[in-house]
Amino acid sequence: MRLATWNVNSIRARVDRIVDFAVREHIDVLAMQEIKCKVEQFPFDRFEDAGFHVEAHGFSQWNGVAIASREPVTDVRTAFPGMPGFEKGDPSTGSGQALDAPLEARALGATVGGVEVWSLYVPNGRSLGDPHYFYKLEWLSALKEYASSALAANPDLALALVGDFNIAPTDADNGVPEVVQGFSTHVSPPEREAFAALEAAGLHDVVRPLVPTGYTYWDYKQLRFPRNQGMRIDFVLGSDAFANAVTGAEIHRNERKGEAPSDHVPVVVDLDLTGPDDDDRPMIF
C-alpha cells in the first residue's frame, strides 16, 4: 500500500493537480485536509474517473477532510470518541468550548486494506491564550485518549493518524524566524507535549527515521518557499503494527512549486502489509 497525506488547501481549486499526483505517484490511499467545501461540492467524479473511491466530510468553505482510496473503504466515521467541538466566545467556559459546541469537520476515519486510517486537520490554535488554542490542546488530548484506548483494546491494530497536526515538534522542524517558542503557536511547550503524548500512547512518526530533515509547509507570504523558511507540521503517526510495515517514505517538496500550489506538500509512506509468513503458506493445487 502507498499512503499519502496532503493538506490540499481547497480541493476545488487544485483537483487537477491532486488527481494527477495521485495517479503519477501510484497512490493507493490519499488522506486530504482543508478541502474547504461541503460534501455535495466535492469533485467526486474526477477521483472516480481515476479509479478512486472517496469519502468526504465538510460543512463549508473552512476545514474539511477526505479520504480517496483505490480499495473500498469501510467503517467510515466523522469524529473520534471524545472529540470536542468549538464555539467561539462561549460564555460558559471562557475558552470557546461548550458541552454542546458544534463539531468541526476535522476528522475522518475509515478502514482500508486492514488499516484504520484517520485524516486529521488539527486546530490551528491561532495565538497563545486564544480560545482556539485551548480548544486545540483539548482536541489533541481527546485524540490521544482515543489512540490509547484503541491500541489497548487491540495491540495488533494497524492504526494511522495522518494529516496536518499544526505542530512543529522540534526546533529543527521550524524554519520561520518569527515563530518563537513562548510567543507563537505550533512551537509552544504544551503543543509539543501534546504531540509527544501521542507518541507515548504507542504511535510512531514513521517518516522521520527515513526522512530526518525537511519541511512540509511554507507560507505563501514573504518568499517563504524560495528562502526555505518552512515548517514540518504534516505527519504520519502509526501504531507498532503500522510502523513495522513501513518500507519507505518521502516528502514531495516539488509539489510546492508550479502553478497554484497548496502551501503544504504531500507526505507519502510505502507499506508491506502481507506479513512475514505469507510466503510460507502451503500451496494448494
Bridge partners of 56, per DSSP, are: 66
Q: Indicate the pairing of strand 234-238 with strand 204-205.
A: antiparallel
What percent of the chain clears pLDDT 70, i.e. is strictly above it? 92
Mean pLDDT of 203-207: 98
Quote the pLDDT of residue 94.
Answer: 43
Q: In the β-sheet with 234-238, what is the strand arrangement from edge to edge?
A: 74-77, 107-112, 115-121, 159-164, 234-238, 204-205
Confidence tier at 275 by pLDDT (50, 70, 90): low
- 5, pLDDT greater than 70: yes
Confidence tier at 255 by pLDDT (50, 70, 90): very high
Q: How many CB atoms lie within 10 A of CB 238?
A: 27
User: Which of the 8 DSSP states describes residue 88?
Assistant: T
Task: Convert the pLDDT of each residue in 187-198 to its tens digit.
Answer: 999 999 999 999
| pTM passes above 0.85 | yes
Confidence tier at 283 by pLDDT (50, 70, 90): very low
Q: What are the percentages of helix, strand and coil residues in the chain, rounded to 5?
A: 25, 25, 50
Q: What residue type is assigned to position 270 of the chain?
A: D
Task: Convert the pLDDT of each residue in 68-84 to its tens digit.
Answer: 999 999 999 999 999 99
What's the rounded Cα separation, in Å, for the pair 113 and 94?
43
What percent of the chain clears pLDDT 90, i.e. is strictly above it? 89
Which triple of cell numbers denotes residue 198? 501521542
